[in-house]
Amino acid sequence: MEWEIKPFGKESTLSGNPFQDGEEVNCFLLRNSEGALVRADLRGADETQFEAGTVVLGRWSRVFEARPDRREEALNQQRSLEELFFSLFEVEEAVESEESDTLKQIVSLMLERKRILRRIPAKCSSRLTVYVHVKSKKEFEVSSSEITPHVVMTVQEQLQVLVR
């Protein structure tokens, strides 16, 4: 006997209509034609659409709660961080300071960790780190400096406001 455990559905299994926040959803534990156990999440009106002979092994109800999609939220945050990185280089002539260099270094490390940027070791030195943006193949030179807790504290507020 196989049973696929999956998260609660966001739409009716039979009709495909999305559930509304606060709507009562009826859940059924069924045995399908292959003999596997499956869960069907349905609206009240969809219950009449069951095929004849469907074996219902269990039934319960729950209230649907719409939750933000965590993956989409993470992607949006990643895009914001990436846009911030690009903008730091676009306004490079206008704002050239130690704080700007520190922001570039911290953001580039964050993007490297997410594999959006890749370090080019052959072009790096003790004072300069060269990154390539994986998608666009564009190279960026980032000044290397010692990142101390004091330095992080000075840019932490800016990063929290910009990245969230």
* Tens digit of each residue's pLDDT (9 = 90 or more) over 24-44: 888 877 777 777 777 888 887
CA distance 161 to 132: 26
Q: Nearest 10 degrees: CA dihedral of 78, 160, 155, 84?
A: 30
Instruction: State pLDDT tens for residues 79-104.
Output: 777 877 887 777 655 455 666 787 78
Predicted local distance difference test score (pLDDT) of residue 136: 92
> What is the arrangement of strands in the sheet containing 37-42, beginning at the earlier edge strand?
37-42, 24-31, 55-63
161 falls in which pLDDT band (50, 70, 90)? Answer: very low
Predicted local distance difference test score (pLDDT) of residue 75: 74
Instruction: State pLDDT tens for residues 38-71.
Output: 788 888 777 777 665 677 777 788 888 877 667 7
Locate all alpha helices (DSSP H) within 13-163, ordered by sequence: 70-90, 98-113, 149-163
